[in-house]
Amino acid sequence: MERTQILVLSEITWKNNEGTMSFLQSEAFTFILLPVLIFLARVLDVSFGTIRVIFILRGRKYLAPVIGFFEILIWLVAIGKVMQNLNNVFCYIAYAGGFSAGNFMGMWIEEKLAMGTLIVQIITRQDASALMESLKSSGFGVTAVPAQGTTGQVHIIYSVIKRSALKDVVAVIKRFNPMAFYSIEDVKFASQPIFPLGKSWLDIRLLGLLRLFRKGK
């Protein structure tokens, strides 16, 4: 009885394996599913590569190697499948398409993460006191320097901010001095930068709305 059950189980296993092998050799897998898997793998590994480079530039020396490990592992799987199917042009297209989409996806993820520190330089010919007070009240450190421009006296304002706060700072600049020239640079390291303490993104937005309401009064 036990021998019969073993034979039946062996036959079922053999049929399942045979069915799996036949599916892997089918046209649906070769020309549709396999290219899709290669495309997704390429998107993933290129996205990891973009994030890894960003981590290196940001000085994240512990995260970058971990990301690099998974990046190259996924790449090896993808390129291995392409080399096993050299006569399948759809694999080539999927590989190239995944590379392009992966670059876009990596930049989109980096933009959403908003990591790092920036220095904002503002040059204005107008009185910068209101702009400086608004930045200070939001918790940002401000340094102002008088300078001589092409058309006369100007004020240069420097502020080191978190990248996630860039939109708020730009909104303040445009509200108080829409004609001001400003430039933004990445900062790899800043000693003792001044950031808003105990204020979340929502807190800063609410403070900006409150100031606008008071100004309207």
- pLDDT (tens, 9 = 90+) of the chain, 217 residues, equals 555 545 444 555 544 555 455 645 666 767 788 899 999 999 999 999 988 988 887 777 888 899 999 999 999 999 998 898 888 899 999 999 999 999 999 888 877 777 778 889 999 888 888 888 888 888 888 888 888 877 788 889 998 888 888 888 988 888 888 888 898 888 776 665 555 654 444 444 444 444 444 444 4
CA distances from 72 to 50, 62, 68, 84 (A): 12, 17, 6, 18
- Are 43 and 125 found together in one domain? no
pTM, whole model, 2 decimals? 0.61
> Is the domain of 42 the same as that of 68?
yes
Instruction: For residues 168 and 204, state if they share a domain.
Output: yes
Residues 94 and 136 in one domain: no
- Are both 136 and 102 inside the same structural domain? no
Both 124 and 107 in one domain: the answer is no
Sign of torsion, CA 176 180 186 191?
A: negative
Same domain, 43 and 95: yes
Report yes or no: 55 and 64 within 8 Å, Cβ to Cβ: yes
Same structural domain, 59 and 146: no
Looking at the structure, tell me whether residues 102 and 134 fall in a common domain.
Answer: no
- Residue 167 shares a structural domain with residue 67: no
Structural domain of 63: 2-113
